[in-house]
Amino acid sequence: MEEWLGIAVPAYAGLLALFGLPAFLTGQAAARQWRGPAQALGYAALLALAARFLIYALFEGRLVSATGFATDLAFLAAVALVAHRVTHVRCVLAQYPWLYERAGPFGYRARGAIGGGPDPT
Instruction: Give per-residue pLDDT as tens, 18-70.
Output: 999 999 999 999 999 999 999 999 999 999 999 889 888 887 777 887 888 89
What's residue 115's pLDDT?
Answer: 55
Asked if the structure places residue 18 within a domain, the reply is yes
Determine the structural domain holding residue 36 and report its residue range. 2-110
Which amino acid makes up residue 66?
A
Burial 1-15 (b: 16+ CB within 10 A, else e): eeeebbbeeebbeeb
In a domain, 119, yes or no: no
Longest dimension (CA), the chain: 58
Instruction: Provide the pLDDT for residue 111.
Output: 85
pTM, rounded to two decimals: 0.83
**Cα–Cα distance measured from residue 45 to residue 70, given in angstroms and rounded to the nearest whole number:** 10
Given a cut of 80, is residue 77 above it in pLDDT? yes
- Radius of gyration (C-alpha) of the chain in whole angstroms: 18
Return d(Cα 72, Cα 80) in angstroms, integer: 12
In a domain, 82, yes or no: yes
| Total of domains in the chain | 1
